[in-house]
Chains A and B, each alone.
Chain A
Amino acid sequence: MQRLLRWFYGLCLSGLMLTVAVEPVAGQQMGRHPEEFRPATRTFAITNAQIVQAPGRVIEGGTVVIRDGLIEAVGLNVQPPFDAHVIEADTLYVYAGFIDGLSHAGIPRPRQERDLERVERPGDPPYERAGIRPERLVPDLLVHDDGSIENFRKLGFTTAHVVPRGQMLPGQGAIVQLGGRNASEMILRDRASLFAQFESARGVYPATTMAIMARWRQIYREADRRQGIAAARTADPAGIRRLEHDAVHDAFRAVVNRELPVVFRTETSLDARRAIRLSEELGFRLILADLKESWYMTDELRDEEPPVFLSLDLPEEEPAREADTVAVARNGDRVRSQADLEDEVERLEQRREEFRRQYFRNAAELHEAGVRFGFATAGTEHNQIRRNLRTIVEHGLPEDAALSALTVNAAHILGLEGQLGTIESGKIANLVLTTGPYFDEDSQVRVVFVDGRRFDYEVREVSDDVDPEAEETPVGRWDFTFDSPDGPLTGTLEIEGSPGAFSGVLALDIGAGDAQLRNIVLEGNVLSFDVTVVVEGSTYPTSFLGTVSEDAISGSATVPGMGTFPARARRISDPGS
């Protein structure tokens, strides 16, 4: 109980907020679900805003006009058109939507890893078992309403280079707009890249990194040979035996032709250098993504060839340790007896801290070397991204450089600079409206436009919501809905007792039985509790936090390791009964 209260106040102090997605205004006006109707207008005017047109280029009190998914006008003296829905932004900041260099948004995780089937010859497994699927395409895999898309959009990402999940060669990447009624609407560019990583196939060839390297050379060179024969047959098929159909080698043709860049996921410098070696040996176009250790190879990256998307994943901060007191004293000290052990542990911790800071400073150092780069999130939990961006800025990356990485640089690397990355007339209306400068801890995303489609995020400070005088009660039966990443989970919530002695259960409709609520606390009108839910045999410890107002509770549920998702409840019994 005490612990939970501390946690709760900690949330208030750290300014964590409840973010609740609300339906677009146009839809609300009609009183129907927005997806069922065309919006009344596709013209918007955002007035009196701080418009960050491009990093370092700010129009104070300017107006942006959006029409039919494109930016029509931007500037100080722009008049809102008569048919525009006007958003009086006043204190809001407007940024170009962020572009994610490597993402799995909209590509659901496989439910569980399939049992590894035994193969006749482990040295020669079928392509699928080996993780070699370069012919797979994002439009066939993208789930348009997957919760991950909302998670990233809510952070300000409007476009992502989305790649399939898998092992060595999971498939081809696509440029995806993070919002749309179906997958087709969201695809900005299909076949945008060939995605590769050093993920081996377990127990079969290629089971190691060195075999992945070898497999790459083999596939590439054979694809090159097939290309030559195919070209000769195209010119004149007579007398040349046709090649057996092979989707893998055929998919590589665009790589061999240098039409398709290879986006290689390489977190370590060793992996990044391996990808560079393959590219130099074989001659394909390369983009490095999710790199965390570029400081080891600044010289190789200086000419921005290959271009780089740095990972937004960082080591966990150690709160107890003050970073600026670190002075690593390594020389001369020796552990000679058990008595020195504490000193030794302290020295090891100092070196650990030295390297933690090195990871934090990675982006800043690459920037200081004059290299432009983007960011990638494939290896990062979405709920770590804003905190990590702040950490990166605190460790020396100028805010404008961070914004460039999120917008213009990413657009440039992906060849999208003509249509995305800045707020200029004619570009795609991907915008982010925030309550303050994006990298400020307190500022919040209020509205996101994707292709001129509006997504509102109602933002309230929890601390503002706490009304100690409120006379709300959670007691009663409630219809409960939790927007899990795999779709909504519904159930019945029952709470009884009195403040300080509440008890309750949550029964999900999918029939896992009653789960006891723990640590139920009502602070004014703010309700929190913990509950462990069981879904399809998997156990999820969940923390709920929300506000009670008469017959409704709205808030969010946090599942460690998965993220925070909207949750709400509607009273189905009489108050207090």
Chain B
Amino acid sequence: MQTTRLKRLLLPALWMAAVFAAVPAQGQVPRAERGDLLIRNATVLTVTDGTHENTDVLISNGRIARIGQGLSAPGDVRVVDAAGLYVMPGIIDAHSHIAITNVNEATNPITAEVQIRDVINPFDVNIYRALAGGVTTIHAMHGSANVIGGQCQTLKLRYGVTDPDDMIFEGAPRTIKFALGENPTRVHGRGANIQPLSRMGVENVIREGFTEAQRYTEAWERYQIERRTDRRAAAPAYDQRLEVLAAILRGDILIQAHSYRADEILMLMDVARDFGIERLTFHHGNEAYKVAPELAAFGAGASVFMDWWAFKFEVYYSTASNSAILARNGVRTSLNSDSPEVIRRLNHEAAKTQKYGDLTDDEALALITINPAWQLGIDGRVGSIEVGKDADLAVFDAHPLSVYAVPQMTIVDGVIRFDRETDPDDMRLHVDPTVEIEPVMLWHEEHDRCMQETGHILELLGHGHAH
């Protein structure tokens, strides 16, 4: 069973690696610093190839060059003595809203044209806090106010760079946020009295959007043909929103759908089949376990909370065994944080699956490494410790699934971005000198970050605050 599982894990990885090989190499070279490093005598948790005791990992130019015993490196390469320490692949959070200055463009049911890439904030100190939890890659997402929200951005946590572009996970596929259920119906239906007011409306918004995108594509194709014979042919109106929806239909953009209920999950798979969309990842999916076989048959992924629910009506029917049920039914599953706090301890979220589902160590670790990498289309680059992959690693002082494990070092592209040995209190990159320092703790309630920036529109429309 282990070997079949391994094949299942590896095959898509190999397939993605082939896809990446086709991408121009230029797009994959990080603009930011890449490092050399030799980690010695560690317990290496590869996730895809078992656990190796007393093993060295040689990092060259930001990539894993060799894994083995008795490795050596050129004299000037830093050597980390990891005897007694555990090295795992850098943790990947498939659902985050840190490191960005906007979350929701909550004004329209479809805002496919907006891009999280435009609002990356490399100064966010939450990046460092996430690094201190062993996280090396996040999927920075648009919020869930809209049925089709903005395009998301996969980032590497290269804390210290000040150019937002240096944060970008170069070569990662484009992704886009969809949101089903209560959030879009509250914001647009109840908020602005426009479709969608119900789950039926949500489905219709998507179908109409895709249909319009098909018409749009046809109009441009007609124009391209016309132009061959008629130099004076007039181009149809440009519509950036429909351009993006058309790219989804072509398979160029991976859908990441905020969803909770089983019925809406089935609905989106139906819509995807009707429009020929092959890849879907359902986020949150508190009721995904009810439709695990259907998800597996579709080949969809699920990126879920470990044990967070009952914060609104559509998330009452939940279980802490959700992720384990999904994983054991062949659904590519990940655990995400959706929170700048939970992101610091995703290894413990993964550990809970061993209590609530008896997952093996590798199965549990896959939920926060290779599986979210697959969902984001970056499993050819990260998510496991393999020669040739990016040297994105997290070093713990105990097995990361132990409640006693404390992150010691986090490495991105071979560069040590967090080191517990040198971890001063004030790690802010930028300080706004106009902000007064208050010698008191300013406590504020944490809201659902998915709904950030929807407050003003609801207030404007005479409704209360969005939670």
Contacts and interface: CB of A to CB of B under 8 A. Distances in A.
A218 interface: yes
A207 B432 contact: no
Interface in B81-136: 101-102, 104-111, 113-116, 118-119, 121, 123
Given A207-B456, A209-B102, A214-B115, A239 B424 contact: no
Contacts of B118: 209-210, 213-214, 274, 277
B109 A344 contact: no
Nearest to A295: B162
Indicate the size class of the contact surface on chain B. 35 or more
Nearest to B142: A210
A123 B111 contact: yes
B232 A204 contact: no
A273 B163 contact: yes
Nearest to B193: A120
A501 interface: no
Given A297-B163, A330-B424, A118 B111 contact: no
B434 A351 contact: no
A331 B424 contact: yes
B232 A211 contact: no
A240 B232 contact: yes
A352 B422 contact: no
Contacts of B109: 123
A269 interface: yes
B274 interface: no
A205 interface: yes
Nearest to B439: A345
A209 B115 CA distance: 10
18 contacts: A123-B110, A123-B111, A203-B457, A205-B107, A207-B106, A209-B101, A211-B105, A211-B107, A214-B111, A214-B114, A217-B113, A217-B240, A225-B238, A269-B162, A316-B434, A334-B425, A347-B426, A351-B426
Contacts of B437: 345, 348-349, 352
Interface in A198-239: 202-211, 213-214, 217-218, 221-222, 224-225, 228-229, 232, 236, 239
Given A203-B460, A205-B105, A218-B238, A210 B115 contact: yes
Nearest to B431: A355
A74 to B, nearest CB: 43
Contacts, number: 147
Interface centre among B110, B433, B456 (most CB of A within 10 A): B433
Contact of B102 (A208, A218, A240, A342): A208
Interface in A309-326: 315-316
A353 interface: yes
A205 B426 contact: no
B18 interface: no
Given A218-B113, A359-B433, 12 more contacts: A123-B107, A207-B456, A207-B457, A208-B102, A210-B118, A225-B235, A229-B235, A240-B234, A330-B424, A335-B425, A352-B433, A353-B433
Nearest to B440: A341
B464 to A, nearest CB: 15
A386 interface: no
Contacts of B432: 355
A512 interface: no
A122 B108 contact: yes
A240 B226 CA distance: 13
A118 B461 contact: yes
A356 interface: yes
Contact of A218 (B240, B431, B434): B240
A221 B242 CA distance: 13
Contacts of B121: 270
B428 interface: yes
A479 to B, nearest CB: 42
Contacts of B237: 222, 225
A216 to B, nearest CB: 10
Given A123-B111, A241-B234, A355-B430, A333 B119 contact: no
A111 interface: no
B102 A204 contact: no
Contact of A330 (B113, B425, B433): B425
Contacts of A297: 162-163
A207 B116 CA distance: 14
Interface string B180-213: 0000000000001010000000000000000000
A296 interface: yes
Interface in A483-503: none
B129 to A, nearest CB: 16
Nearest to B192: A122
A332 interface: yes
B453 interface: yes
B108 A351 contact: no
Contacts of B235: 225, 228-229
Contacts of B439: 341-342, 345
A218 B114 CA distance: 11
**B contacts with A: majority SS:** loop
Interface string B357-385: 00000000000000000000000000000
A361 B111 CA distance: 41
B107 A203 contact: yes
A353 B192 CA distance: 46
B301 interface: no
A221 B234 contact: no
Indicate the size class of the contact surface on chain A. 35 or more
Contacts of B114: 208, 210-211, 213-214
A130 to B, nearest CB: 10
Nearest to B104: A208
A209 B114 CA distance: 9
Contacts of B150: 210
Given A208-B114, A211-B111, A315-B433, A221 B425 contact: no
A352 B437 CA distance: 9
Nearest to A341: B439
B164 interface: yes
A229 B234 contact: yes
Nearest to A201: B107
B194 A121 contact: yes
B279 to A, nearest CB: 24
A354 interface: yes
Contacts of A352: 431, 433, 435, 437
Contact of A214 (B113, B192, B232, B430): B113
A348 B436 CA distance: 10
Given A240-B234, A273-B164, A332 B424 contact: yes
A83 interface: no
A208 B113 contact: no
Nearest to B231: A232
Contacts of A232: 232, 234
Contacts of A334: 425
A318 B447 CA distance: 35
Interface centre among B116, B238, B453 (most CB of A within 10 A): B238
A497 B210 CA distance: 82
A124 interface: yes
B108 A123 contact: yes
A248 to B, nearest CB: 14
Given A208-B104, A208-B105, A296 B162 contact: yes
Interface in A276-297: 277, 296-297
Contacts of B422: 331
Contacts of A118: 460-461
Contacts of A339: none
Contacts of B433: 315, 352-353, 355-356, 359
A22 interface: no
B431 A351 contact: yes
Contacts of A210: 102, 105, 114-116, 118-119, 150
Contacts of B194: 121
Given A203-B107, A207-B456, A330 B426 contact: yes
Contacts of B234: 229, 232, 240-241
Contacts of A204: 107
A116 interface: yes
A296 to B, nearest CB: 5
